[in-house]
């Protein structure tokens, strides 16, 4: 065998060995990455399971003592060890509903304005200003709401609402009572301001993802701007919009400090949204350091468990809606 043949064979052998070592290294790194990702996912599940288990164990004395009446009663009296979660649950749902009723339409309109109608020179400054709202600490919102926003509502807005709906059935019960300034309406408005950046930012991103050819075709057949928004952009982006709304709702349900400042922290259920109330997170923040006795502490932990269940139900409903939309879209 010639020397050239031997050299060629040795070169091929070296190349094959190098290629095999590269493949082994890639396979090893892939296995390591796969193990890290699986470990991270399992860690999250374990952490979530630990939180749920801790809440269940901590709330067991209260739930064992009061049973279902813990959810259906309004009384919250630490002196007599009588606790009911109805008022915090009611306040949490009402303030979150007010926030979403305001933030979702406004956020969608702002997002559409930024993507379709806003002059280019103003688009960036307005977008930055809205995103900065998400970076403001919640305690700043609370201080501003207590010392600036609540007095404004007490002096101008709430008296107007009381007088305007005094003779309107149903609405007169929603807007009755003295204008305290603080209350569930104030808390809902503060939450709407805090939720607005999330809804706007996500909606703007998904609106930007709409293919221009769809909008141009709609304009070409004579559709107005509103018709393009309603019949083209929203149907195409509804999955992302719903996801953004659910993210904002999760923020509204769990917000603590801002709501604590402006809601009034009253454990009572009132038909009027002008009346003071409380939420689950505000009740826990206000009273956990003062909780003496196992039953009192357990009742506050049970409030945390209820908030966890409410959040889980909301996210599950959102996921179900998204699955139905995806199936309908094929």
Q: Which of 66, 91, 119 is the last residue of a domain?
A: 66
CB atoms within 10 A of CB 231: 12
Give me the number of domains the chain comprises: 2
145 lies in the same domain as 109: yes
Q: How far is CA 23 from CA 28, 299, 317, in A?
A: 8, 58, 45
134 lies in the same domain as 267: yes
- Rounded CA-CA distance 123/251 in Å is 26
78 lies in the same domain as 55: no
Structure tokens given for 288 = 């956990």
Q: Which of 44, 66, 88 is the last residue of a domain?
A: 66
- Rounded CA-CA distance 36/247 in Å is 27
29 lies in the same domain as 81: no
Q: Is the separation of the CB atoms in 240 and 206 below 8 Å? A: yes
| Angle of helix 294-328 versus helix 86-112 axis, rounded to 10 | 40
Q: Is the separation of the CB atoms in 175 and 161 below 8 Å? A: yes
For residue 264, give the 3-state DSSP assignment.
Answer: strand
- Rounded CA-CA distance 260/76 in Å is 17
111 lies in the same domain as 219: yes
- Rounded CA-CA distance 94/187 in Å is 10
Q: Is the separation of the CB atoms in 175 and 273 below 8 Å? A: yes
Tracing tokens 């826990």 back to the chain, one arrives at 284
- Rounded CA-CA distance 192/95 in Å is 9
In DSSP terms, 245 is beta-bridged to none
In DSSP terms, 77 is beta-bridged to 82
31 lies in the same domain as 76: no
129 lies in the same domain as 7: no
For residue 77, give the 3-state DSSP assignment.
Answer: strand
- Rounded CA-CA distance 131/145 in Å is 19
- Rounded CA-CA distance 10/108 in Å is 68
91 lies in the same domain as 26: no
Is pTM beyond 0.85? Reply is yes
Q: In which domain, by residue range, is 17 found?
A: 1-66
172 lies in the same domain as 114: yes
Residue 136 has φ and ψ, to the nearest 5°, of -75, 130
Q: What is the pLDDT along the chain (330 residues), one digit of tens a residue?
A: 455 554 555 556 666 677 777 788 888 888 889 899 999 999 999 999 999 999 999 999 999 999 889 999 999 998 888 999 999 999 999 999 999 999 999 999 999 999 888 888 888 888 888 888 888 899 999 999 999 999 999 999 999 999 999 888 888 899 988 999 999 999 999 999 999 998 998 899 899 888 889 888 998 888 888 899 999 998 888 888 888 888 889 889 988 889 999 999 889 999 999 999 999 999 999 888 888 888 999 999 999 999 999 988 888 887 787 777 777 665
> Closest Cα partner for 154 from 173, 174, 175, 182?
182
- What stretches of the chain show up as alpha helix (H) in DSSP? 3-66, 69-72, 86-112, 120-135, 138-144, 150-152, 158-164, 171-174, 184-208, 212-220, 225-228, 234-254, 257-262, 280-287, 294-328
CATH number for the domain including 314?
Answer: 1.10.3720.10
CB atoms within 10 A of CB 168: 11
Q: Which of 33, 66, 99 is the last residue of a domain?
A: 66
254 lies in the same domain as 155: yes
28 lies in the same domain as 101: no
52 lies in the same domain as 138: no
């Amino acid at each position: 065998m010639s020397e050239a043949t031997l050299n060629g064979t040795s070169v091929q052998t070296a190349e094959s060995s190098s290629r095999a070592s590269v493949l082994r290294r890639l396979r090893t790194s892939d296995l390591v990455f796969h193990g890290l990702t699986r470990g991270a996912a399992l860690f999250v599940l374990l952490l979530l399971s630990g939180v749920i288990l801790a809440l269940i164990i901590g709330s067991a004395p209260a739930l064992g003592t009061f049973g279902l009446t813990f959810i259906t009663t309004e009384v919250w009296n630490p002196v007599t060890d009588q606790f009911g979660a109805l008022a915090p649950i009611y306040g949490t749902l009402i303030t979150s509903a007010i926030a979403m009723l305001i933030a979702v339409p406004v956020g969608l309109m702002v997002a559409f304005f930024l993507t379709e109608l806003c002059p280019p020179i103003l688009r960036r400054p307005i977008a930055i200003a809205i995103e900065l709202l998400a970076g403001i600490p919640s305690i700043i919102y609370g201080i501003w709401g207590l010392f600036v926003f609540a007095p404004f509502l007490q002096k101008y807005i709430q008296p107007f609402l009381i007088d305007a709906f005094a003779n309107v059935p149903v609405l007169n019960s929603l807007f009755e009572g003295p204008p305290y300034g603080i209350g569930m309406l104030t808390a809902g408005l503060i939450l709407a301001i805090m939720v607005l950046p999330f809804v706007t930012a996500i909606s703007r991103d998904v609106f930007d993802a709409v293919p221009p050819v769809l909008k141009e075709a709609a304009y070409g057949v004579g559709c107005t701007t509103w018709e393009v928004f309603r019949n083209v952009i929203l149907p195409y982006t509804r999955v992302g919009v719903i996801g953004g709304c659910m993210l904002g709702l999760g923020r509204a349900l769990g917000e603590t400090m801002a709501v604590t400042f402006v809601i009034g922290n009253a454990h009572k259920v009132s038909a009027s949204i002008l009346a003071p109330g409380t939420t689950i997170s505000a009740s826990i923040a206000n009273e956990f350091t003062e909780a003496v006795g196992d039953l009192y502490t357990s009742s506050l932990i049970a409030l945390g468990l209820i908030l966890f269940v409410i959040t889980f139900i909301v996210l599950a409903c959102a996921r179900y809606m998204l699955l139905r939309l995806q199936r309908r879209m094929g």
